[in-house]
Amino acid sequence: MEIDNKKVRLLLWDIGGDERFQIIRTLYFKGSNAALGVYAVDSTQSLLKLPGWIASIKKSVKKQIPIIIIGNKIDLERKVDSSEAEALAKKLNADYIETSAKTGENVAEMFERIAHKCLEVHKIEE
């Protein structure tokens, strides 16, 4: 994508929480330049797992990277109040956005936001 007249390529890895992938998960974390922590707004449990995930990412990466907490599935009945998730994002020093992968709401904005953050943090040149 093009951000501020600079080309930014986003390569995303969807690494679910299945325990059998725990060992290789940290290998993916090590080379990361940004992180997206996704939880489902219809699942309190998914939000509660985010601090552990973010801690694991920070431990593996060992450098400052932009992080965005994403409340997904806003097209479904909400069980997590957005203020609770926003407070967690603030505590984790992360941005916050809500999306719906189903309807596409805020998905493009989320990708643009992480690309902007990468440009800011990593001072990517043309």
- Does some domain include residue 37? yes
pLDDT > 60? residue 126: no
- Does some domain include residue 5? no
Q: Please state the domain count of the chain.
A: 1
Q: Given this model, what pLDDT does residue 98 score? A: 98
pTM over 0.85: yes
Vertex 94, ends 40 and 107: CA angle to 5°? 50
Task: Output the DSSP codes for 59-119.
Answer: HHH-S---EEEEEE-TTSPP-S-HHHHHHHHHHTT-EEEE--TTT-TTHHHHHHHHHHHHH
- Does some domain include residue 61? yes
Give the highest mean pLDDT range of 25-29, 59-63, 105-109: 105-109
Average pLDDT over residues 59-78: 94
- Domain extent for 61: 19-122
In CATH, what number is assigned to the domain containing residue 112? Answer: 3.40.50.300
- Does some domain include residue 9? no
The helix, strand and coil proportions of the chain, stated in percent and rounded to the nearest 5, come to 45, 15, 40
pLDDT > 70 fraction of the chain, expressed in percent and rounded: 94
Where residue 125 falls among pLDDT bands split at 50, 70, 90? very low
Q: pLDDT tens across 70-117, in order? A: 999 999 999 999 999 999 999 999 999 999 999 999 999 999 999 999
